[in-house]
Structure 1
Amino acid sequence: MTAPAAPGPATPLAATPAPTMRAVVVDHPGGPEVLELRDVPRPTAATGQVLIEIKAFGLNRSELHFRQGVAYSGSFPRIPGIEAVGVVADDPSGRLATGTQVATLMGGMGREFDGGYAEYVVVPATQVVPFASGLPWSTLGAVPEMLQTASGSLRVGVESRAGQTLLIRGGTSSIGLALAVLAKRQGLTVLSTTRSDARRPLLESAGVDHVLIDDGALADRVRALVPGGVDGAVELVGVNVMKDTLRAVRAGGTVCFTGMLSDQWTIPEFYPMEWLPNGVRLTAYSGDASDLPPEVLQGFLDDVAAGHATVPIGRVYALDEIARAHRDLEAGTVGGKAVVVLSSETHSQS
């Protein structure tokens, strides 16, 4: 009887490839050409984190500043992006079910840790805002940071109330258009600025009552429309025009410094007695995910779905058009919120 053959060496099992994703990576500061689309390892969520499958994300000027290397924080190499919307892919805590629609924003996203210019992102669970909506992902992607900034500027920055007057300096930006929409819903009279008369219809479509062509000096024209000055103003252009904005506001009114479209955000040798008219208050606003409660986001999305509010979308891009999107943002040709859509679904599933 022949003895059985000795077993040979075990055949090693093929290693399962680690999952990857497409993402935009910036290795070093520079122009739009430094935004490189690559295949990179897909992140995994640890305790206290949530993995989100991204469906869309909005673009923001702060991401231009980061890419250019002039932001006050952040490190390279990095996947940029301070906001995104999508669905939960994994929540180790079990708090959010897989497939739950969520938004995420700020909190170091896209600067201290990798952000939303990707197919997946891992973020702290504390900066995940759940919602349910059947709106298109292109619409949903435009909302989180825009809504948080606009609503916070009104609520916290100028403490607006129905019946008041509001000046928006930088009105054709995405935040400026969102401010007009929210302010009109709140019952304010809105004055808003643009440097081009061709943009007048865009502002009027957002409900603006008085369109002002901005040549750098508006205070006298504002006071001709509103004797004594407006109750509040949101400054989105920068400190290069803020002294004039302050002079358009009544004593006891407030200017909120929210944006710097001009890329000018510091005042050399600031002298308050020269800059601040008697009794005019100067505040600032910069919020976070905690400043966008789920009920505020859900309420706004429900209003949009019902036709009671609009989302000022300028242009929608694919992920591989990210460099072009940044060029359009720098050129100021978007005319509203720029959004990148990754999902092949036209509408989300609520």
Structure 2
Amino acid sequence: MKAVVITTPGGPEVLKLQQVDDPQLNDDAVLIRVAATALNRADTLQRQGMYPPPKGESEYLGLECSGVIESVGKNVSRWKVGDQVCALLSGGGYAEKVVVPAGQVLPIPSGISLKDAASFPEVACTVWSTVFMTSKLSSGETFLIHGGSSGIGTFAIQMAKYLGIKVFVTAGSDEKLKACKEFGADICINYKTEDFVARVKEETGGKGVDVILDNIGGPYFQKNLESLSIDGRLFIIGLMGGVKAEANIALILAKRLTVQGAGLRTRSVEKKAEIVSEVEKNVWPAIAEGKVKPVVYKYFPLSEAGEGHKLMETSAHIGKILLLA
């Protein structure tokens, strides 16, 4: 098969489509012929040599895919050859074929094309496992999403609105904020021209929001603590702004705050299967109802993975960038 290979750690130009060995099927997995895969920020870090795959997982990029099952392991009962599916991966999506544990496979959501289904597994599993399964975000609460126009952000906005939650977002341009508004965001804040802490306090009568989903890290840590309500929950899923922070941690005690981090890729096969099952039960119906839609900014052929990475690193996109195998 062909796969995108990191020829040496570096910039987008190091990604080359090459002939490689097919992955080997095991008894508890399925082999998928990939139709599409999606780019994630983690891919750009792995390309630079900063985020190696977990031991024993595919060396190729790609944390989600859609496609058609070509073969199934002998212990697999739910799936059969010919099924159209999408899947959460630990790696290997930037290829023509990938082997996936059966518990990480999902049916294509009703009404969604095979290729666009690749935009859902990683964002759905990340958002559902963090702010819903762990932080217990629920109807009537308030939710601040940093990077509202990202793949994670555009999904989180739609899912939260489906569940009756008031959504605040930050983004860096009027165009991105307009898109967030169209996806359902209630309060849209340009972090380049506004102090999001002040705006959150203003919009909540000084109370703050219940849950924050943060992909920035260090520079936002103190501001996030200030933006949370009593018993608020901060979930950190990215460190795009840096890893170091200086903060008044007395706020954590005074407000009884919870600060958590997430790493989906390194979870056990069993835990990933549990998350995938919860996503199918809770998220797939929202997609089937048309309340949560795929947000795809651009498609590239697999051979132009480097161009996709260049686009992602400009942060000009809204939603997901897909590679078509």
Give the TM-score, by structure 1 length. Answer: 0.81
- Take 1:68 and 1:199, find their aligned partners in 2: how far apart are those partners? 27
Say whether residues 1:292 and 2:280 are aligned partners: no
Say whether residues 1:219 and 2:197 are aligned partners: yes
- Take 1:132 and 1:253, find their aligned partners in 2: how far apart are those partners? 33
- Take 1:296 and 1:148, find their aligned partners in 2: how far apart are those partners? 6
- Take 1:310 and 1:341, find their aligned partners in 2: how far apart are those partners? 19
- Number of residue equivalences: 313
Partner amino acid, structure 2, of 1:91:
V
Question: Could you report, residue by residue, the CA deviation over 1:179-216 in whole angstroms, capped at 9, with x for unpaired residues?
Answer: 11111011011110111122221111110001011138
Deviation of residue 123 (structure 1)?
Answer: 2.8
Contact 1:191 1:208 (C-alpha < 8 Å) held by counterparts: yes
Question: Could you report, residue by residue, the CA deviation over 1:44-82 in whole angstroms, capped at 9, with x for unpaired residues?
Answer: 313333211111111100011000111265589932112
- C-alpha change, 1:31 and 1:150, in structure 2 (3 Å) is same
- Which deviates further from its counterpart, 304-313 or 291-300? 291-300
1:169 to 112, 122, 146: 146
- Take 1:37 and 1:272, find their aligned partners in 2: how far apart are those partners? 48
- C-alpha change, 1:304 and 1:35, in structure 2 (3 Å) is same
Say whether residues 1:50 and 2:30 are aligned partners: yes
Whose radius of gyration is greater, 1 or 2? 1
- C-alpha change, 1:225 and 1:312, in structure 2 (3 Å) is same
Say whether residues 1:251 and 2:227 are aligned partners: no
Deviation of residue 271 (structure 1)?
Answer: 6.5
- Aligned equivalent of 2:254: 278
- C-alpha change, 1:245 and 1:86, in structure 2 (3 Å) is same
Q: Secondary structure at the match of 1:307?
A: coil
Q: Secondary structure at the match of 1:202?
A: helix
- C-alpha change, 1:209 and 1:309, in structure 2 (3 Å) is same
1:61 to 41, 45, 48: 41
Q: Secondary structure at the match of 1:181?
A: helix
Partner amino acid, structure 1, of 2:309:
H
Partner amino acid, structure 1, of 2:156:
L
Q: Which runs of 5+ in 1 are unaligned?
A: 1-20, 343-350
- Aligned equivalent of 2:61: 80
Contact 2:162 2:286 (C-alpha < 8 Å) held by counterparts: no
Say whether residues 1:236 and 2:215 are aligned partners: yes
- Aligned equivalent of 1:13: none
2:240 to 257, 261, 264: 261
- C-alpha change, 1:214 and 1:271, in structure 2 (3 Å) is closer
- C-alpha change, 1:65 and 1:332, in structure 2 (3 Å) is same
Deviation of residue 301 (structure 1)?
Answer: 4.1
- Take 1:282 and 1:204, find their aligned partners in 2: how far apart are those partners? 27
Q: Secondary structure at the match of 2:249?
A: helix
Q: Secondary structure at the match of 2:244?
A: coil
Say whether residues 1:149 and 2:132 are aligned partners: no
Partner amino acid, structure 2, of 1:89:
E
Contact 1:158 1:233 (C-alpha < 8 Å) held by counterparts: no
- C-alpha change, 1:179 and 1:134, in structure 2 (3 Å) is closer
Q: Superposed, which structure 2 residues align to 1:202-213 within 5 Å?
A: 202-213=179-190
Partner amino acid, structure 2, of 1:247:
E
Question: Could you report, residue by residue, the CA deviation over 1:99-140 in whole angstroms, capped at 9, with x for unpaired residues?
Answer: 12233224xx22xxxx11011012333433345645212320
- Aligned equivalent of 1:322: 305
Question: Could you report, residue by residue, the CA deviation over 1:116-166 in whole angstroms, capped at 9, with x for unpaired residues?
Answer: 101101233343334564521232010000111112222134311111111
State percent identity of aligned pairs: 28
- Aligned equivalent of 2:3: 23
- Aligned equivalent of 1:91: 72
Contact 2:84 2:114 (C-alpha < 8 Å) held by counterparts: no
Partner amino acid, structure 1, of 2:300:
Y
Q: Superposed, which structure 2 residues align to 1:190-205 within 5 Å?
A: 190-205=167-182
Cα-Cα RMSD? 2.5
- Take 1:168 and 1:330, find their aligned partners in 2: how far apart are those partners? 20
- Take 2:312 and 2:227, find their aligned partners in 1: how far apart are those partners? 28
Say whether residues 1:32 and 2:15 are aligned partners: no
Give the TM-score, by structure 2 length. Answer: 0.87
Q: Which runs of 5+ in 2 are unaligned?
A: none
Contact 2:222 2:248 (C-alpha < 8 Å) held by counterparts: no
Partner amino acid, structure 2, of 1:328:
L
- Take 1:64 and 1:299, find their aligned partners in 2: how far apart are those partners? 30
Contact 2:170 2:196 (C-alpha < 8 Å) held by counterparts: no
